[in-house]
Amino acid sequence: MFTMKLNFINIPEFLTHPVLNSNTVVMYLALFMCLFLLLFFFMNKKPSCKVYLIDFVCYKPPASQKCSKPSVMKLAKQHGYLTEETEDFTRNLLERCGIGDSTYLAETFFKPSYKPLMKDSRREVEMAIFGSLDMLLGKTGVRADNIGILIVNCCIYNTEPSLSSMIVNRYKFRENIITYNIVGMGCSAGLLATGLAKRLLQVHHNSYALIVSTESITENCYVGKDRSKFLINCLFRVGGATILLSNRSSDQNNSKYELLHAIHDNTSSSDRSYNSIFREEDNAGITGVNINKDLLAAAIDTIKPNLITVGRLILPIQEKLAYQVTYITRKLLPSLNIQQYIPNYSKAVDHFLPHVGGKPVLDDLQKTLGLSDEVMEASRMTLYRYGNTSSSSIWYELAYVEAKGRVKEGDKVWHLSFGSGFKCSSVIWRAMKTIDHGDDNPWTDEIGQFPVTVEFGPFPIDFAPSS
Ligand SMILES: *[C@@H]1O[C@H](CO)[C@@H](O)[C@H](O)[C@H]1NC(C)=O
Ligand SMILES: *[C@@H]1O[C@H](CO)[C@@H](O)[C@H](O)[C@H]1NC(C)=O
Ligand SMILES: *[C@@H]1O[C@H](CO)[C@@H](O)[C@H](O)[C@H]1NC(C)=O
Ligand SMILES: *[C@@H]1O[C@H](CO)[C@@H](O)[C@H](O)[C@H]1NC(C)=O
Ligand SMILES: *[C@@H]1O[C@H](CO)[C@@H](O)[C@H](O)[C@H]1NC(C)=O
């Protein structure tokens, strides 16, 4: 049986040839080595998979929805949701949470009583999504039937049919469009969607990917008395952003940014992290989002590995060396008491844009990384002007630095967001040109008024004890 099979195998002649001498062997071996190396080289050569950000648009709600802090208090009282006991606490929280007097509330809060209907929530997201998407498609001139991938992320609000179907229906996107609708994944989901789009663009050549990040606050106002659920009411505001990505080489010249890295981390397997931001009913059965004392620890546990990976990818060699040397010395010779060197991330990125959401987290990050107030400006000003708009906040921050005329060709931009789960994502972009602010930038008419100085004071928050 075995010998019969052998007959079919074509043994190279030189191996069986009687006059096989050492020279020929060397020659053939060399030839094989060359072929093997070439093959190895081609197999390892990654296909070029550049992803470009053509443009993005942030939604600016109508001026009629602007609401100052005193007006927020007035509306809350008028709707009957503040008792004498919670009134002072809420005012105090509002004063110190870092938002200004021109953030936007949803339309429903301006009605005589707070009785949100499903259609009100739907209207809120439709205004944000269609408002920014109409502008984005108009601005970029991309035709709806060229869009091959659509990813929508919206954390707390969810409906049926999904928001992605709602968009496909309104713009009559093509039938074979790939759609994803990400819910419940917190404020970092916008960057998670960017990472997903990057992967999809590598398999579906020559397409456009559209990312829509938004949230609806209409039905998500907490109307109970549990203090640890109040923070969301104070910070959470209307907003949304749409982003167009492409991997067409023809878009190389008209894109704003190139995506360099997308890094995702999470600590959902740890109970402490998992429970730190939690949506649940209070004792009276009223739903709200609870933030407990473990938030800061969970954030640090999740953000740290993310920072380390980002550092490994982008920091210049001197910074990495300084870090490694002090790290090793500290391990080997603890008696020397050498301070751990903290790498200077400003040497590698020009614009640092962290999510506005957690003031205590940002303060800690600023202190640990030794970042200047100027570096944190875009984030603080976005919180002041637009509030916490969840996953779309980081796009208002990018619009801020663009409106300030700070983005120059070659600049590196670092989007960092974190949120419930606990999750943390970083995306690094490189500016492909020096960017002029357009009329569609939500900051354009008022950028001269910023930055403003905001006195925060200590954060008077009653976090719930950890569970
Ligand atoms: C887009 O991705 C595909 C698949 O990885 C790749 O073949 C193509 O070269 C990419 N286009 C650009 C402009 O990088
Ligand atoms: C992009 O611009 C460069 C120089 O301006 C040009 O050489 C190149 O052909 C352009 N690429 C495309 C795809 O238009
Ligand atoms: C969770 O973290 C791991 C790395 O720790 C990462 O590979 C994965 O993509 C993350 N998933 C999410 C949903 O963030
Ligand atoms: C970090 O690097 C930036 C840019 O090189 C520099 O302006 C800044 O002073 C440095 N910060 C520290 C703390 O050394
Ligand atoms: C910001 O808003 C999002 C809404 O999805 C919420 O999950 C997050 O906890 C908020 N951050 C803070 C600090 O309130």
Torsion angle defined by CA atoms of residues 333, 334, 339 and 344, in that order, rounded to the nearest 10 degrees: 60
- Other CB atoms within a 10 A radius of the CB of residue 192 amount to 23
Q: To which H or E segment does residue 208 belong?
A: strand 208-214
Residue 19 falls inside a structural domain = no
Q: How many CA atoms lie within 13 A of 360 on its CB side?
A: 17
CB 309 within 8 A of CB 343: no
Q: How far is the CA of 390 from the centre of ligand 5 (A)?
A: 6
Chain centroid, CA 108 distance in Å = 28
389 vs 214, 241, 283, 339, 376, CA distance in Å? 7, 10, 28, 38, 17
**CB of 187 closer than 6 angstroms to any ligand 5 atom:** yes
347, 376, 412, best to mutate for ligand 4 pocket (most atoms within 8 Å of CB): 347
Give the pTM: 0.87
Q: To which H or E segment does residue 94 belong?
A: helix 84-96
Residue 140 falls inside a structural domain = yes
**CB of 264 closer than 6 angstroms to any ligand 3 atom:** yes
**CB of 249 closer than 6 angstroms to any ligand 1 atom:** yes
Q: To which H or E segment does residue 23 belong?
A: helix 22-44
**CB of 370 closer than 6 angstroms to any ligand 4 atom:** yes
**CB of 301 closer than 6 angstroms to any ligand 3 atom:** no
What CATH code is carried by the domain that includes residue 65?
3.40.47.10
Residue 16 falls inside a structural domain = no
**CB of 155 closer than 6 angstroms to any ligand 5 atom:** yes
Residue 467 falls inside a structural domain = no
Structure tokens, 306: 């993310």
Residue 26 falls inside a structural domain = no
Which residues sit opposite 288 in a β-bridge?
280
Structure tokens, 129: 């999504």
Cα Rg of the chain, angstroms? 27
Residue 36 falls inside a structural domain = no
Which residues sit opposite 66 in a β-bridge?
104
- Other CB atoms within a 10 A radius of the CB of residue 448 amount to 8
**CB of 266 closer than 6 angstroms to any ligand 3 atom:** yes
Q: How far is the CA of 190 from the centre of ligand 1 (A)?
A: 23
**CB of 255 closer than 6 angstroms to any ligand 1 atom:** no
**CB of 66 closer than 6 angstroms to any ligand 1 atom:** no
Spell out the per-residue pLDDT of the chain, length 467, in tens.
444 444 444 444 444 455 556 677 677 777 767 676 666 655 555 555 789 999 999 999 999 999 999 999 999 989 888 888 888 888 888 888 888 999 999 999 999 999 999 999 999 999 999 999 999 999 999 999 999 999 999 999 999 999 999 999 999 999 999 999 999 999 999 999 999 999 999 888 778 999 999 999 999 899 988 888 888 888 889 999 999 999 888 888 999 999 999 999 999 999 999 999 999 999 999 999 998 889 989 999 999 999 999 999 999 999 999 999 999 999 999 998 888 899 999 999 999 999 998 677 888 888 888 888 899 999 999 999 999 999 999 999 999 999 999 999 999 999 999 999 999 999 999 999 999 877 889 999 999 999 998 876 666 555 667 66
**What is the separation, in whole angstroms, between the first and last Cα of the chain?**
70
Structure tokens, 413: 């931009």
Per-residue DSSP letter, 374 = T
Residue 43 falls inside a structural domain = no
Q: Is 99 left (phi over 0), alpha (psi -120 to 50) or beta?
A: beta
180, 263, 266, best to mutate for ligand 3 pocket (most atoms within 8 Å of CB): 266
**CB of 188 closer than 6 angstroms to any ligand 3 atom:** no
Q: How many CA atoms lie within 13 A of 281 on its CB side?
A: 4
* Helix (H), strand (E), coil (C) string for 34-73: HHHHHHHHHHHCCCCCCEEEEEEEECCCCHHHEECHHHHH
Chain centroid, CA 461 distance in Å = 25
DSSP, collapsed to helix, strand or coil, labels residue 5 as: helix
Q: How far is the CA of 263 from the centre of ligand 3 (A)?
A: 8
**CB of 47 closer than 6 angstroms to any ligand 1 atom:** yes
CA distance 195 to 434: 24
CA distance 388 to 394: 10
Give me the domain span that covers residue 60: 51-449
Residue 465 falls inside a structural domain = no
Pocket lining for ligand 2, CB < 6 angstroms: 249-250, 252-253
Structure tokens, 450: 């910023």
CB 432 within 8 A of CB 52: yes
The number of folded domains in the chain is: 1
- Closest ligand 1 atom to residue 251 Cα is 13
What pLDDT sits at residue 8?
41
DSSP, collapsed to helix, strand or coil, labels residue 311 as: helix
- Closest ligand 1 atom to residue 51 Cα is 14
CA distance 274 to 269: 7
CA distance 71 to 75: 6
Structure tokens, 328: 């090793």
229, 390, 456, 459, best to mutate for ligand 5 pocket (most atoms within 8 Å of CB): 390
- Closest ligand 2 atom to residue 249 Cα is 13
**Which backbone phi and psi does 260 adopt, to 5 degrees?**
-100, -50
CA distance 350 to 228: 36
Structure tokens, 391: 């996953």
What pLDDT sits at residue 83?
83
CA distance 240 to 129: 7
Residue 445 buriedness (CB in 10 A; 0-12 / 13-18 / 19+): exposed
Residue 142: partners with Cβ closer than 8 Å, 6 or more residues away: 54, 208, 244
Nearest CA among 100, 119, 463 for reference residue 299: 463
Query: Considering all CA atoms of the chain, what is the largest pairwise distance in Å, rounded to the nearest integer?
Result: 105
**CB of 347 closer than 6 angstroms to any ligand 4 atom:** yes
